Structure 1
């Protein structure tokens, strides 16, 4: 199983993922961005449809390789994965989900949401990704445009605005438990 945490920047995906794997030893964290970093290193000069690539998700190779790498990690470890990645393009999400399902992985698509003012506050005060503040703020409009399809495609939508990270993780963990046939020995 792949638990895919999706949503806008500043919503709490990384924090939720970390809390999930801390509380449930069955789960392993998987970051699809590392596949993107690899490709950026080797494909930086390769355009897509004649245009300069501004996001590694634009490379079809990223969308093909993420399911392959996730499958390899899940197979090698025997663990369900928690993937953390904002995917704002519906066609990209359909490709990723199809690629994971083609490898016999059930996908639990969790979309985290947050009120706009709280998202801005979180982005502007993020000390871990401080260099990405401007980029994240610019992409809020793209998130707003994607929110409709994203929440419609979600198996679970969790509003994180007024909830603690532990509460959000507990909500997602309950959904994971339902899919895995019960809770882990915690």
Structure 2
């Protein structure tokens, strides 16, 4: 078990930051987050999907939904989990997580701001044809109607609010390594 560093115990260091990688399925968030973590010293990856998976394990179950982000506890639990991780470790937390509902993003970003946690918000973007081809050709997860169903909500969010709220990295013609390099360079500025 890793011991808590006395210099960081209970404190968010001035260098603590969240690098949030948003975007729909097929944009490359998971792959890119691991590569970003390798490029930014003292960084870790935290997939907030795990918070949703924990809520899905509550028995008897929570009210039925097609997206755990609709459960009100998910947003503050993501904020508090990220805050506690950063208080414990300091450094940079790379968070690959799709958030397409503007109200949910506002709740999360306001919660992090209340704890004085800076967020660098990036959207990994690709055109619809590229996203569809990536999802349909995925050799790890396989083709997924669930993932394809998010293409239109992503396009709507991108058009109405998401792209104006974040730094957009167009991954249509980038490798994951190139996307990670762009993000790491932007964070370093």
TM-score range, shorter chain: 0.7 to 0.9
Which of 22, 26, 48 is the aligned partner of 1:6?
A: 22
Asked if 1 retains the 8 angstrom alpha-carbon contact of 2:22 and 2:124, the reply is yes
CA distance in 2, matches of 1:43, 1:5: 31
Q: Is the 8 A contact 1:44 1:53 kept in 2?
A: no
Match for residue 125 of structure 1 among 124, 137, 147: 137
Q: Distance in 1 between matches of 2:85 and 2:94?
A: 11
What aligned pairs does 1:119-158 form with structure 2 within 5 A after superposition?
A: 119-130=131-142, 133-148=144-159, 149-154=161-166, 156-158=167-169
| Alpha-carbon distance change, 43 to 79 in structure 1, aligned in 2, over 3 angstroms | farther
How far did 1:21 drift?
A: 0.8
- Give the 5 Å matches for 1:21-32: 21-32=37-48
Deviation at residue 43 of structure 1 after TM alignment: 6.2
Q: Which runs of 5+ in 1 are unaligned?
A: 179-186
Q: Higher helix proportion, which one?
A: 1
Equivalent position to 2:184, from 160, 173, 179: 173
Between the aligned partners of 2:45 and 2:128, the Cα distance in structure 1 is: 27
Cα offsets for 1:16-53 (capped at 9, x unmatched):
11111112232110100110011111166332xxxx31
Q: Which residue of 1 aligns with 2:6?
A: none
CA RMSD of aligned residues (A): 1.3
SS at match of 1:104: coil
Q: 1:34 corresponds to which residue?
A: 50
Query: Matched residue pairs, number?
Result: 172
1:105-130 Cα distance to aligned partner (Å, 9 max, x none): 10111011101111111111222322
TM-score using structure 2 length: 0.87
Partners of 2:21 and 2:123 within 8 A in 1: yes
Q: 1:57 aligns with which of 66, 69, 76?
A: 69
